[in-house]
Structure 1
Amino acid sequence: MTIDTRTRLSIADAFTSLLREELPLRFTAYDGSSSGPEDAPYHFHLRTERGLSYLMSSPDPDLALARAYVAGDLELSGAHPGDPYPALVALKEGIKFRRPSASELVTLVRSLGVSHLRAPAPPPQEAPSRTRRVLEGVRHSLGRDAEAIHHHYDVSNRFYELVLGPSMTYTCALYPHEDATLEEAQAAKYDLVARKLDLRPGQRLLDIGCGWGGMVRHAAREYGVRALGVTLSREQATWAQEEIKAQGLDDLAEVRHLDYRHVAESDFDAISSIGLTEHIGVQHYPEYFGFLHRKLAPHGRLLNHCITRAHNRATSTGKFIDRYVFPDGELTGSGTIVRAVEDAGLEVQHHENIRLHYARTLAAWGANLAEHWDECVAEVGPNTARVWGLYMAGSRLAFERNEIQLHHVLASRVDDAGATGYPLRHTF
């Protein structure tokens, strides 16, 4: 529809005027205006003038909506805040914006108020922009990486227990069959990694970006491997060491609060990197994979597990993810990773995409957050809980629609004679 530039618009009318098609959900605002069918399954209510300012002041619509929603200025009915996935599907499929003319923009601003173009302070859960983060150090420096990890992972171990479940595993699971539980799928993921690495008793494993130590414990408990995990999160390292001791694995397993670049040991038989590469930065792949090559013994294996794009262009994770979830994160395609692994002198043996397993994993985490919503809110506050619900639902949708993928790349270190110790056929 076009805007009558002689008319003063309500908030709901202004919103509707920007759409190409009829609104598939209900929208109401604090000025008493409304649009969309009354019996729509999902209802968005703009509660405050601050919410309107969030929507009008940001040039990025996803970030604008996220700010208003996280702050509680934009309320959602019809879907649980812990798992707003169905509402996001409706938004993605049903709302198509059009570009208004210059005169229409003037009418919109005049109707809604010029003062709303002034950006309010963002919710406290939002990290500074990438430009402002320059003050925290060079991107992917030791200090800035530590701060980025702290922003996301040092929230509350109890919160993560409620959302992730008993495995305390915050990476893509592997569902061995349709009816597998999240715990079964996480155990299956760790075991697939172990089998790809051909772990055997007495070997040494380095797990970088080890989280709460799930892979370290699995390797020690199930394969008799001496496993060292490192993480930049102090909260993760503390929890992991306590769990290792509780399971009686401290003779084989250890988790350190340490940047992987400070690992002094070398000649590892295997290295697992599960969910770390997203934080490295594409321009740092050569030094990253070069470091892993140097840490491996000849014939040693590397398993790199990470989120990827469906193309090989290096891209940021988007403004919402960058500000609220993974500051400084960067994604690219699996081809770029394979090339970097090979350029580092490692021989790629196997490469696979398990993206649909991540959609299932995120659905399970969202269900956990919704089930334990009140306790999660009590632990971290409503704003942070809403960030997590929005982030997991949006990521699930992105994996389902092939906007992002999850790849395993298995490689081995070649010795001076060209041998890798790899069998003629895969054994996993």
Structure 2
Amino acid sequence: MKLAQIFETLVGDDLAVRITAYDGSTAGPEDAEYGLNLKTSRGTTYLVTAPGDLGLARAYVSGDLELIGAHPGDPYSALQALAADLKFSKPSPLEMAQVARAIGLEHFKLIPPPPQESLPRWRRFAEGLRHSRERDAEAIHYHYDVSNRFYELVLGESMTYTCAVYPNADATLEEAQENKYRLIFDKLNLQPGDRLLDIGCGWGGMVRYAARQGVHALGVTLSSEQAKWAQQAIEEQGLSKFAEVRFSDYRDVTETGFDAISSIGLTEHIGVANYPKYFGFMRDKVRTGGLILNHSITRPDNRSRSKAGPFIDRYVFPDGELTGSGTIISKMQDVSRLEVLHEENFRHHYAMTLRDWNANLVANWDEAVAEVGEGTARLWGLYMAGCRIGFERDIVQLHHVLATKMQLDGTTNLPLRPWWQP
């Protein structure tokens, strides 16, 4: 049995893509637009010892598996074609015995994964308990402290690593990111002289936007590289009077009485079990009558397991957890005196955002590879293109939830209807 035929055994023999392997074997239609090329023996070991998306990711990131017909900075189209085929079925004992005889037992021995891979969950206890301060800091460091220059190449001028909001289908990424900050600012009903706390502020995009409108904005991030970049941008843009970004755990913020709090892309790192404390922190830090905006990736239901799959957990967001928007809303409501006012889904906008990030990576591919290495650049191309498919197919969503800390008697000074432009 040849390697390409072994692949057919694992994923089915009705392939719409072409499979080629280093032993000269082939499978699938010869005229297929996209395909997989297994280049090395090491790639076989990765695929055999971790069947499914983790093994495929290891082989791809290490360069042992090639996507034919796609740029590594944006393999979206190839992944779309492959997604219909790569449905790993559980081989029968007889089939596994045939596979083992064909490729040799040496391929079933574990080998070190690519250096980009994080430790499995069970080995992270040296960094602390799940979602402890120490372990959260390490998880953020793993993902966000890659290279500020690399992020500039991928994210563009806004240095914003969260879903944009496109005012129209033809808007540029920069226009959409500026529109996202405008929308959040307006939803929070911020006025000149107000005080904003932005939790998990990244490179300070929301902080700087609010400061330009005359709002005193404090941002906190667990990434030292983000904080350094953000503070430099604040100083260069003459915003120091209104803006500050701290390298800090949000739980260490001592100030209170903020007029509004924004959390843009942090909830995914918090852990569902910690939502009551997380939203309770916001409640305690915002003034009575103030507003809270939570922007986060969610699942399309509230029943699915919250923990990420092996590829996302080991290569993208260690310890990340997602749940449905209903769970987020209920946890906000369960925290005393938080009243949910509005929520909306930006799923399609995130697919468009990822499309534009992939396009930036392709346009800056050579510099990106020089900055972080080909393996890491390939990983980012794969992960962003795969996530784009996830948003398009409603495997994941992106929700805004707007809430207020009510007056003790339940009254509010807010307008009767939404006061912001969509």
Query: Do 1:298 and 1:420's aligned partners in 2 also have CA atoms closer than 8 Å?
Result: no
Shift of 1:163: 0.3
Q: CA deviation at 1:21?
A: 4.1
Q: CA shift at 1:416, angstroms? A: 1.7
Q: What is the Cα deviation at residue 51 of structure 1?
A: 0.6
CA distance in structure 1 between the partners assigned to 2:369 and 2:335 by the alignment: 45
AA of the residue aligned to 2:265 = G
User: Deviation at 1:34?
Assistant: 1.4
Identify the match of residue 48 of structure 1 among 19, 40, 45: 40
In the alignment, the residues of structure 1 paired with residue 101 and residue 85 of structure 2 have an alpha-carbon distance, to the nearest angstrom, of: 28
Q: Percent identity?
A: 63
Amino acid at match of 1:89: Q
Query: Aligned residue pairs: how many?
Result: 418
Matches within 5 A, 1:185-224: 185-221=176-212, 223-224=213-214
Separation (CA, whole Å) in 1 of partners of 2:368 and 2:57: 19
Return the match for 2:247 from 242, 257, 266: 257
Letter in 2 for 1:228: L
2:260 counterpart residue number: 270
* Partner SS, residue 84 of structure 2: helix
1:413–1:420 CA contact under 8 A, matched in 2: no
Whole-Å Cα distance in 2 between the matches of residues 30 and 209 of structure 1?
A: 46
**8 Å Cα contact 2:11-2:85 kept in structure 1:** no
Structure 2: stretches of 5+ with no match in the other structure: none
Q: Deviations over 1:101-121 (max 9, x none)?
A: 211211111111111111210
Cα RMSD (Å): 1.0
Which letter maps to 2:146?
V
Equivalent residues of 2:20, 2:26 under 8 A apart: yes
Is the CA contact 1:24–1:95 (under 8 Å) kept in the aligned structure 2?
Answer: no
- Report the CA distance between 1:77 and its aligned residue: 2.1
Structure 1 residues not aligned, in runs of 5+: 1-8
1:232 equivalent among 205, 209, 222: 222
* Mapping 1:234-313, distance limit 5 Å: 234-313=224-303
Q: Is the contact made by 2:199 and 2:262 (CA closer than 8 Å) also made in structure 1?
A: yes
Q: Which of structure 1's runs of 4+ aligned residues deviate more than 6 A?
A: none
Structure 1 counterpart of 2:406, from 391, 406, 414: 414
| Aligned match of 1:3 | none
The amino acid that maps onto 2:375 is: N
Separation (CA, whole Å) in 1 of partners of 2:201 and 2:37? 41
Indicate the SS of the match to 2:339.
Answer: strand
Q: Deviations over 1:242-279 (max 9, x none)?
A: 11111110000000000000001000000000000000
1:75 aligns with 2:95: no
CA offset digits 1:11-69 (Å, max 9, x no partner): 1111123343422112111111111222221132111111100000114x100000000
Query: SS at the partner of 2:244?
Result: strand
TM-score normalised per structure 2? 0.97
> How far is the alpha carbon of 1:344 from its aligned partner?
1.1
Provide the residue aligned with 1:62 in structure 2: 53
SS class of match (1:256): strand
Q: Is the 8 A contact 2:351 2:388 kept in 1?
A: yes
